[in-house]
């Protein structure tokens, strides 16, 4: 499952530089996560690092992009070869 930044985001830019997959960028109003690049940090970290650094806990699981651990690992391999 990719993660999702809610509209509560305060655009503090803490998460963007920490993402190992370059999945976070500034969107129309707030920061956004590209579901094709977010692996929930599988392959890099034990926990999603964006969630760890977000000061207001506005990053949630994206119900529209449900993936298993194996699928997330496949995505990691695809991204990083």
Residues that bind ligand SF4 (CB under 6 A): 3, 5, 9-15, 18-19, 21, 23-24, 31, 33, 38-41, 48-50, 53-54, 56, 58-59
| Distance of closest approach, residue 81 Cβ to ligand SF4, in angstroms | 16
- C-alpha 59/C-alpha 72 separation (Å) is 18
| Residue placing its CB nearer to ligand SF4 in the complex, 12 or 66 | 12
Cβ count near 52 (within 10 Å) = 14
| Distance of closest approach, residue 1 Cβ to ligand SF4, in angstroms | 10
Cβ count near 48 (within 10 Å) = 23
């Amino acid at each position: 499952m990719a993660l999702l930044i809610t509209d509560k985001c305060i655009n503090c830019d803490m998460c963007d530089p920490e993402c190992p997959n370059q999945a976070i960028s500034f969107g129309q109003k707030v920061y956004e996560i590209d579901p094709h690049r977010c692996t929930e940090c599988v392959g890099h970290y034990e926990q999603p690092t964006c969630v760890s650094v977000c000061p207001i806990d506005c990053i949630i699981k994206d119900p529209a992009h449900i993936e298993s651990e194996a699928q997330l690992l496949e995505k990691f391999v695809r991204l990083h070869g």
